[in-house]
A and B are shown apart, each in its own frame.
Chain A
Amino acid sequence: GAGVSQTPSNKVTEKGKYVELRCDPISGHTALYWYRQSLGQGPEFLIYFQGTGAADDSGLPNDRFFAVRPEGSVSTLKIQRTERGDSAVYLCASSLIGAYGYTFGSGTRLTVV
């Protein structure tokens, strides 16, 4: 597609539930990134994919968070047993490998109640 697409744009879930957030990157972009942004803060790195594999998952806060990119295109961020502290905007970005700069999607606003 023309840009990075993230769905859903908003997600409200109950504490303890499981959620999946989807990212569809720009066609041909081999690198895909997930960030989390809390209100009034800069984005915080979660995980980076190069192709199908996670090249760096050092930002995942704990084992409740997991991300996949099985075919090297669409990626899904999965959060188990959600907690209120997981509430944030989850941003996805993609780029050509080695290129400077990302193209971000508009994000998924996750609210855990």
Chain B
Amino acid sequence: TQLLEQSPQFLSIQEGENLTVYCNSSSVFSSLQWYRQEPGEGPVLLVTVVTGGEVKKLKRLTFQFGDARKDSSLHITAAQPGDTGLYLCAGTTSGTYKYIFGTGTRLKVLA
């Protein structure tokens, strides 16, 4: 069973600080996604990465897929209170459209 471990589990930072969230597995993924989820809502897709070493930017968020396609990171620059939420990575292996979700990182940005 593939398992996606995220770290840290919880993160509380001040507005303006930078942070990085990690997503690690022993499995190789054909694609990996990052979602953000707010209370009472479903996860919302932020980005999909498919190529080893790929880097994508979404405003203040930078996503990287590991060269071996087993891990990924999400870096937020100058965090804002609006970034508060549960960040989830999700991966799929070749031949399936089923995504396996990570354990989640709960981020709180204090004003």
User: Once the chains bind, are B98 and A100 in contact (CB under 8 Å)?
Assistant: no
Q: Is the CB of A45 within 8 A of B98?
A: yes
Q: Which of A42, A48, A105 touches B42 (beta carbons < 8 Å)?
A: A105
Tell yes or no: B100 within 8 A of A by CB: yes
From A33, A40, A43, A56, name the one whose CB has the most chain B CB atoms within 10 angstroms.
A43
CA distance A98 to B106 in the complex (A): 30
Q: Does A102 contact B (CB under 8 A)?
A: yes
The bracket for how many chain A residues form the interface is: 20 to 34
In whole angstroms, what is the CA distance A31 to B96 when docked?
A: 12
Residues of A within 8 A of B97 (CB): 31, 48, 50, 55, 95, 97-98
User: Contacts A40-B104, A41-B104 given: A56-B43 contact, CB under 8 Å?
Assistant: no
A104 touches which of B6, B42, B103 (Cβ 8 Å): B42
Chain B residues with CB under 8 A of A97: 97
Question: Which residues of chain A (39-81) have a CB below 8 Å from chain B?
Answer: 40-45, 48, 50, 55-56
Query: Which residues from B are CB-within-8-Å of A107?
Result: 40-42
The size bracket of the interface on B is: 20 to 34
A-B contact count (CB 8 A): 58
User: Are A102 and B99 within 8 A (Cβ)?
Assistant: yes
Return the CB mask of B18-52 against A: 1 if under 8 Å, else 0: 00000000000001010000001111110010100
Q: B45 is contacted by which of A41, A55, A101 (Cβ under 8 Å)? A: A101
Instruction: Assess A100 versus B31: contact at CB under 8 Å? Given A42-B103, A45-B98.
Output: yes
Q: Which of A40, A93, A95, A100 has the most CB of B within 10 A?
A: A100
A42 touches B102 (CB 8 A): yes
Q: A56-B96, A100-B33, A106-B40 are in contact. Are A44 and B101 (CB under 8 A)?
A: yes
Q: How far is the CA of A104 from the CA of B104 in the complex (A)?
A: 16
Nearest Cβ on chain A to B5's Cβ, whole angstroms: 10
- The answer for the CA separation of A100 and B48 in the assembled complex, in Å, is 7
Chain A contact residues, CB within 8 Å of chain B: 4, 31, 33, 35, 40-45, 48, 50, 55-56, 91, 93, 95, 97-98, 100-107
Q: B residues engaging A (CB < 8 A)? A: 4, 6, 31, 33, 40-45, 48, 50, 88, 90, 96-104, 106
